[in-house]
Amino acid sequence: MGITISGDGSLRSFNFSGSLTFRDNAAFTAALAELDKAAPGPLTFDFSGVDYVDSFGIGLLVLANDEAAKRGLTLHVLNVQPAVEKLLGHFGLVEDLRVNRPMVGGAPSAQHHALEALTVSPPRVEGRRVVVALSGQFTLGTQSAFLPVVEGLTALTRGQTCVLELGGLDFIDSSGVSMLLSFHDQATRAGIATMLDGPCGRVKEMLRLSALDTVMFVTERG
């Protein structure tokens, strides 16, 4: 497992990658020591790169949540992959650990703060392609903004391609991924091809980790 600490200098955003298991005791203990340097407020564990957690790892998360609370910090475990979220749900920890729940009262970094909405551009027709640009955050809380795109599929004709430009999208969670999959399924049934264009950063990584890039056609910008 890898842990990096980032954010706006307050050491309140921890990014995890790999597996969180009984082998990660030392790395996690060192990370917990960093909590003493954080001012009270929200604390995020970004789990977008975590694909496996065992019961030892769950215990470490519960301990981190308790230790954060003692220091006036509110832990949010974000970008949790579906399999890991299911596991946490099995033990009734989704609420306790505020899994994938948007932060209330201020995010830990300016980056998160500025991207709490999903913006969908008007459709742009380019020959047989209809292009829609998404920007901001694609989450459970913002996915309703995408519904008109799904409903708009009925206006397309068989053989057309619907392109979603994702270059302006900074964050997507499992709900957003599910919505994209539903969009793809519905388009396929209608004989319409789909394409995800230009995902970058964490969005690109999430598409890879969720294997959505094996289902939908993804193009990258140079």
Q: Which residues bind other proteins (CB under 8 A)?
A: 19, 21-23, 25-26, 28-29, 32-33, 52, 54-56, 58-60, 62-63, 66-67, 83, 87, 90-92, 96
Which DSSP letter does residue 204 get? H
Q: Which is nearer to other proteins, 96 or 116 (CB)?
A: 96
Which is it for strands 41-53 and 13-20: parallel, antiparallel or unpaired? Answer: parallel
Which is it for strands 124-126 and 129-138: parallel, antiparallel or unpaired? Answer: antiparallel
Which DSSP letter does residue 20 get? E
Task: Report the alpha-carbon distance of residue 202 to residue 141 in Å, rounded.
Answer: 18
Task: Report the alpha-carbon distance of residue 139 to residue 17 in Å, rounded.
Answer: 21
Closest distance to other proteins from the beta carbon of 80 (Å): 16
Greatest distance between any 2 Cα atoms in the chain:
59
Residues in Cβ contact with 39 at an 8 Å cutoff, skipping those fewer than 6 apart:
10, 12
Q: Which is nearer to other proteins, 34 or 151 (CB)?
A: 34
Which DSSP letter does residue 140 get? T
Q: Which is nearer to other proteins, 55 or 182 (CB)?
A: 55
Helix (H) or strand (E) holding 34: none
Q: Which is nearer to other proteins, 75 or 134 (CB)?
A: 75
Closest distance to other proteins from the beta carbon of 104 (Å): 22
Tokens representing residue 149 in the block: 């795109």
Q: Which is nearer to other proteins, 58 or 212 (CB)?
A: 58
Closest distance to other proteins from the beta carbon of 55 (Å): 4
Q: Which is nearer to other proteins, 25 or 182 (CB)?
A: 25
Residues, the chain: 222
Tell me if 189 sits within 8 A of 133, measured CB to CB.
no
Closest distance to other proteins from the beta carbon of 66 (Å): 8
Closest distance to other proteins from the beta carbon of 96 (Å): 7
Task: Report the alpha-carbon distance of residue 134 to residue 169 in Å, rounded.
Answer: 6
Closest distance to other proteins from the beta carbon of 63 (Å): 5
